[in-house]
């Protein structure tokens, strides 16, 4: 059909419809005469093509983000939005989606590389570092990081893995350059790791890299091979020193509490003895005052009572000879000092042999003589 521009009622041809009709005619030529008519009704090929196109567009319009991913939608190569895990829609052909693993823990090796066999090989250009006291150390460590902002991670830095490695190396050099070699080899490793992690995170935030540093772990810290033996001797000596210090502190912690316990025991014992003496003195004082009160009321009775109590206290400890009856009036008392005297412990006392003592002993004649008898 040819359209006449002078005919206002004529129908203007549609280029898209003409193209589809031409394609339909070309498809019909590919099949035997009557083949498509037997399979489909009139216009069936066109409907099939349209349905296929629609299915393709619908399939391209839907995408699913996994739970450990974050979707970044690009429109003509420019990021326009970020989507959470789950099913989402996009404009087919016009928009594309990137889905990085935001929950994955990535690893960067600095100072060494691990080959396919799992063996580690040092990289001297990265590992050798200068400490604050002008000593060289070979430091190997790893950096673990996660994706914090997917859009920044994908588009702000060209090679994020290499960038993190270089920034980590620079951060470690700065921290080690402010530390002493003793700290790096022994007790200061935790501080070096923490300082490097903080400085590295600051640098990556300035780059807007969208990365969160999870950990910085020192794998190996050793002096260069040329002086490794000397450094090992120094390290062993320091370890021995720490061991001796710990032993001395342990001995001190054992002996001091024990001495304090013994001192406290002596003090408590002395206080108890003093309290007992005070209580006894107070009891004796109260007893004396009570006796004095009774004595003032009946002096004769109390005097006799005190006399009797004194004898009861003294006589049981003395040797006594009791003569019953009136025979005592006719006997002459005789005191055998050599028999009843107790050995003295006074300084300067002279010990007399037994033979001399027997010779000097008086005649053991009757110790009691009747009165009026002649010797």
Mean pLDDT in residue range 252-267: 92
Mean pLDDT in residue range 61-71: 86
CA distance 359 to 357: 6
The predicted structure's pLDDT at residue 28:
56
Q: Any idea which of 23-27, 113-117, 232-236 has the lowest mean pLDDT?
A: 23-27
Which whole-number Å values give the CA distances from 322 to 319, 327, 328, 333, 367, in the listed order? 10, 11, 9, 12, 14
When pLDDT is cut at 50, 70 and 90, the band that residue 42 belongs to is very low
The predicted structure's pLDDT at residue 9:
43
When pLDDT is cut at 50, 70 and 90, the band that residue 172 belongs to is very high
Backbone angles phi, psi at 348, to 5 degrees: 90, 0
Q: Any idea which of 46-50, 67-71, 95-99, 140-144 has the lowest mean pLDDT?
A: 46-50
When pLDDT is cut at 50, 70 and 90, the band that residue 291 belongs to is confident
What angle do the packed helices 189-207 and 160-177 form, to 10 degrees? 140
Mean pLDDT in residue range 191-200: 95
Mean pLDDT in residue range 157-181: 93
Mean pLDDT in residue range 282-311: 85
The predicted structure's pLDDT at residue 362:
44
**Assign residue 59 a region: left if phi > 0, alpha if psi is -120 to 50, beta otherwise?**
alpha
When pLDDT is cut at 50, 70 and 90, the band that residue 17 belongs to is low
Quick check: 135 and 181 in contact, CB under 8 A? yes
The predicted structure's pLDDT at residue 43:
53
Q: Which residue has the higher pLDDT, 256 or 292?
A: 256
The domains of the chain, with CATH numbers, are: 20-61 (no CATH), 62-98 (no CATH), 106-223 (3.30.479.30), 227-314 (no CATH)
Q: Which residue has the higher pLDDT, 17 or 2?
A: 17
> With b meaning 16 or more CB within 10 Å and e meaning fewer, what string describes 110-131?
bbbeeeeeeeeebeeebbebeb
The predicted structure's pLDDT at residue 44:
63
Mean pLDDT in residue range 268-275: 94
Q: Which string of DSSP letters, residue by residue, matches 202-267?
A: HHHHHHT--EEEEEEEEEEEE--GGGHHHHHHHHHHHHHHHHHHHHHHHHHHHHHHHHHHHHHHHH
The predicted structure's pLDDT at residue 54:
74
The pLDDT > 70 percentage for the chain reads 73
Q: Which residue has the higher pLDDT, 48 or 97?
A: 97
């Amino acid at each position: 059909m040819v359209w006449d521009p002078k005919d206002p009622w004529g129908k203007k041809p549609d280029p898209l419809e003409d193209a589809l009709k031409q394609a339909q005619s070309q498809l019909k030529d590919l099949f035997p005469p009557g083949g498509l008519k037997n399979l489909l009704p009139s216009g069936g090929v066109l409907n099939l093509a349209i349905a296929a196109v629609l299915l393709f567009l619908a399939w391209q319009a839907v995408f699913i983000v996994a739970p450990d991913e974050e979707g970044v939608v690009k429109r003509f190569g420019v990021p326009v939005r970020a989507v959470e895990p789950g099913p989402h829609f996009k404009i087919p052909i016009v928009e594309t989606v990137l889905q990085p693993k935001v929950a994955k823990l990535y690893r960067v090796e600095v100072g060494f590389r691990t080959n396919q066999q799992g063996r580690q090989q040092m990289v001297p250009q990265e590992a050798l570092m200068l400490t604050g006291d002008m000593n060289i150390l070979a430091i190997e460590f790893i950096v673990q990081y996660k994706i914090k902002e997917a859009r920044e991670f994908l588009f702000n830095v060209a090679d994020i893995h290499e960038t993190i490695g270089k920034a980590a190396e620079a951060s470690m050099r700065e921290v080690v350059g402010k530390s002493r070699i003793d700290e790096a080899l022994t007790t200061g490793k935790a501080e070096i790791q923490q300082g490097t992690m903080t400085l590295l995170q600051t640098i990556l935030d300035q780059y807007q890299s969208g990365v969160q540093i999870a950990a910085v772990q020192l794998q190996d810290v050793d002096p260069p091979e040329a002086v490794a033996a000397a450094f090992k001797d120094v390290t062993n000596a320091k370890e021995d020193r720490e061991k001796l210090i710990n032993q001395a502190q342990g001995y001190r912690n054992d002996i001091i509490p024990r001495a304090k316990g013994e001192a406290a025991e002596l003090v408590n014992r002395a206080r108890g003895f003093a309290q007992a003496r005070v209580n006894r003195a107070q009891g004796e004082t109260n007893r004396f005052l009570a006796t004095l009160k009774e004595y003032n009321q009946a002096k004769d009775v109390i005097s006799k009572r005190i006399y009797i109590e004194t004898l009861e206290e003294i006589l049981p400890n003395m040797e006594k000879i009791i003569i019953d009856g009136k025979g005592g009036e006719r006997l002459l008392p005789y005191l055998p000092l050599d028999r009843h005297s107790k050995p003295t412990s006074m300084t300067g006392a002279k010990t007399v042999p037994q033979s001399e003592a027997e010779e000097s002993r008086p005649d053991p004649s009757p110790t009691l003589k009747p009165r009026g008898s002649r010797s």
